[in-house]
Structure 1
Amino acid sequence: MKRHLPAVLVAGWGVLNGLLLVVLAVYRENSMTYWLWGGVVLVVELAALAVLVSSRAGTDQHVRYRVRDRGAGGVLPAAIGLLLVALCPVYGLWLLVVAVPLLMLSVALAVHGTTARER
């Protein structure tokens, strides 16, 4: 499964967008909406397939770089927390209930590190 994960990801993304197109059909959207959504999904799916094919064709050029990963696990919670803080003026201050713990978690991960080999 790990070997075919990029192909599964591209296919899964296409299936998910197909399901979202069905949701649009259930809500009886305008036909232009179907054409726009389907066209954009088709273009992005073709681009993803082109990247997938090109990455498989040039496997001799793959290089692994070592990146220091101390605190890298805190990036995603920080990004989500900051997004929720930015959405507070629109949806209300109740989003701070979720955003503040995520930001504290990201600070803790940045300070203490995230991998076992750092200890």
Structure 2
Amino acid sequence: MAQKKQLSEANAAEILNQILAAYKYLITEGVIHRDIKPANILRVGNKWKISDFGFAAKARFGFKDRVNLGTPLYMAPECLRRNYYSYKSDLFAIGIVLYEMIMGRVPHEAHN
């Protein structure tokens, strides 16, 4: 999904539903991905899947990780401030991916 082109809202919604199903599965398995971005969302046949689990972590009760991992354009503000990663951090990244699917660009640009 790495190409930067605008999708119709209907196409974006179809892809988003599949991404959210994969995200829900990660939650049930206790996994925080920590680097969701278009390059890590792959089309396999007619399905979209989350890939590249190199930064993923197994969440435990009270899990707190201050390691600064991920791609800054898709990181939640709390992660950029080196606060804690959580499932919400992955959901924030999915929101950025959705915005990019519809608008053809990320909602903000980083200069460093």
TM-score, with structure 1 as normaliser: 0.33
Q: Which has the higher helix share?
A: 1
Q: Which structure would you say has the larger RCO, counting Cα contacts within 8 Å and 6 or more residues apart?
A: 2
Structure number with higher strand proportion: 2
Larger radius of gyration: 1
TM-score, length basis structure 2: 0.35
